[in-house]
Amino acid sequence: MQNIIEITDFSAPELDIYARMTEGQLLNRHEPEKGLFIAESPKVVERALDAGCRPVSLLLERKHIEGEARDVVARCGDIPIYIADFDVLTQLTGFQLTRGVLCAMHRPPLPSPEEVCAGSRRIAVLENIMNPTNIGAIFRSAAALGMDAVLLTPDCSDPLYRRAIRVSMGTVFQIPWTFLGNEDCPWPSQGMELLKNMGFRTAAMALKDDSVSIDDPRLMSEEKLAIVLGSEGDGLAASTIADCDYTVRIPMSHGVDSLNVAAASAVAFWQLGARADMQYRIASLK
pLDDT band at 2 (very low <50, low <70, confident <90, very high): confident
Distance in angstroms (rounded) separating the CA atoms of residues 145 and 142:
5
Helix (H, G, I), strand (E, B) or coil at 177: strand
- pLDDT attached to residue 137: 98
| Res 281 pLDDT > 70 | no
Q: Are strands 177-179 and 149-152 parallel, antiparallel or unpaired?
A: parallel
Peptide bond into 188 cis (omega under 30): yes
- pLDDT attached to residue 96: 59
| Res 28 pLDDT > 90 | no
Q: Virtual CA dihedral for 124, 113, 119, 222, nearest 10 degrees?
A: 40
Which residue, 68, 67, 66, 44, is CA-closest to 55? 44
Say if residues 279 and 128 touch (Cβ distance below 8 Å).
Answer: no
| Res 282 pLDDT > 60 | no
| Res 278 pLDDT > 90 | no
pLDDT digits (tens, 9 = 90+) for 78-90: 999 998 887 777 7
- Taking residues 179-187, report their average pLDDT: 87
Minimum mean pLDDT range among 19-23, 83-87, 131-135, 179-183: 83-87
Q: In whole numbers, what is the pLDDT of the chain averaged over residues?
A: 90
Tally Cβ neighbours within 10 Å of residue 176.
18
Q: Which helix or strand (DSSP H or E) is residue 7 part of?
A: none
- pLDDT attached to residue 98: 58
- pLDDT attached to residue 84: 83
Q: The pTM is what? A: 0.91
**Terminal-residue alpha carbon distance, the chain:** 57
Say if residues 105 and 30 touch (Cβ distance below 8 Å).
Answer: no
Q: Select the more confidently predicted residue: 134 or 101.
A: 134
| Res 193 pLDDT > 60 | yes
Contact residues for 225 (Cβ-Cβ < 8 A; gap 6+):
121, 122, 123, 200, 201, 202, 203, 219, 272, 276
pLDDT band at 180 (very low <50, low <70, confident <90, very high): very high
